[in-house]
Amino acid sequence: MKRSMSLIVSAVVAFLLTTVDLPARKMKADQLVTLHLKAIGENLVRKNRVAQGLGTMDIRVGGQGKLGGPAMLLAEGDKLRTDFRFGHTQYPRELLIRNGDKVDIAYISPGIRSQLGRSIWNDFPRLAQEGLYGGVLSTDWALLDLRKRRAKVRYRGLKKFEGKKYHELEYRPKKGVDYKIRLFFEPETYRHVASHYRLVIPDGMGRGLVDIGGSGPIGAGGAGPGAGSGQARGGSQREIGTQTGPGSRSYINLTERFSDFKEVDGLTLPFHYKITLNFDAADSFVGHWEIKIDRMSHDRKIAAKAFAIK
């Protein structure tokens, strides 16, 4: 009797261990997407979303500077507006507007975008149009309707990202791009916690980004003194993302992180949104932009001019 009970217990334990491991080994892309959408909430489709809070910019490498001010994210259908208002003479704001398939990123001075704005514009095009930029904070989040987008997704298993294991989903837009897109989800909750975009530039192939940051305190890609001159620090013009030497590579990484999830209007959404831009190249650069949201609401009236593209 005791032996039979022992065998039963062993069988149950073995079954449970197999069951726990099953999702990680047998998960399919569509199953992960379904679990993720369920984790957000039942009433996914909202007319619009308004999120407000404190925005900050912190340049760590390739310049120096830290600014803060009010920030806002507005979303309505396939429209999106992210707006950091720093109020600094050299870096007044960081503004991105998407209206359908059109996107505009504001200049921080005549003809000059910040490093972040320029990288989204030049290196990672179609992030906003694809519904990837802003993640679940966008009302047109890419995973809400993959059939309509005709994007291809592939489940890559539990992978390490920044020291932790997450479900990884590879995303390929219908309109091809030359950078890699990876989305990460918590194994326990299936919440989308990060998006990572990586562009590899082979030796000798510049990306056309010119370091015109000058020697000013902000260091935001044209925000310092001498901006607009086309001259790099030291007086020579240099291309970001270019290294020398046989077989060398340069990398441009853009990462969106989402945390501090809270329930609002029946939806579980992140109240902390952080963007990191990292140039692993001859001219290195590391900068962070983030919004700590303190107010979020849905189905409010948003003026059409908020999404107007000039």
Q: What is the reported pTM? A: 0.81
pLDDT at residue 256 is higher than 70: yes
Q: Does 260 map to a domain?
A: yes
Q: Does 189 map to a domain?
A: yes
Query: HSE of 240 in the Cβ direction (CA atoms, 13 Å)?
Result: 27
Nearest-CA neighbor of 266 among 14, 72, 42, 56?
42
Mean pLDDT for the chain overall: 82
| Structural domain count, the chain | 1
Give the pLDDT mean for 34-48.
91
Q: Over the stretch 133-171, which tens digit does the pLDDT of each residue have?
A: 999 999 999 999 999 999 999 999 999 999 999 999 999
- Domain that includes residue 152, residue range: 30-307
pLDDT at residue 7 is higher than 90: no
DSSP conformation class of 17: H
* 222 vs 226, higher pLDDT: 222
Q: Does 4 map to a domain?
A: no
pLDDT at 211: 32
- The CATH number that applies at residue 275 is 2.50.20
Please, which residues have CB within 8 angstroms of residue 93's CB and are 6 or more apart in sequence? Answer: 83, 84, 85, 86, 87, 106, 108
Q: Over the stretch 270-288, which tens digit does the pLDDT of each residue have?
A: 999 999 999 987 678 999 9
Q: Does 6 map to a domain?
A: no
DSSP conformation class of 294: E
The span from the CA of 254 to the CA of 115, in Å, is 11
Q: Does 3 map to a domain?
A: no
Q: Does 9 map to a domain?
A: no
Q: Does 198 map to a domain?
A: yes
